[in-house]
Amino acid sequence: MPQVDYSWIETEIKKAKLFEKYIDAPIESCAELLSHLVKELDERNARLLAAKILLLRAERRKLTQSELRKLYEDADRCFQ
């Protein structure tokens, strides 16, 4: 019988903890946020989490359209 790989659970728990740690952190750019996240996660998961954090921050704040556009563009760069 093959062994079941449960490592994805550890990754999801780590992502949840990092989300809580960085959602209110004073880091504003994708590059800076990624530099912290890639220490804990693989690059793909770090990019997805960074984008999620930046998008949720943008939704929480009352921003002007230009400020909002800038945050969305930065979050989009996280995917590249």
What confidence tens digit (pLDDT) does each residue in 2-26 have?
787 788 889 999 999 999 999 988 8
For 79, which DSSP code? T
pTM: 0.78
pLDDT tens for each residue of 59-76: 887 778 887 788 778 777
Helix axes 7-22, 43-60, angle to 10 degrees: 40
What pLDDT is attached to residue 33?
A: 92
> Is the distance from CB of 54 to CB of 68 less than 8 angstroms?
no
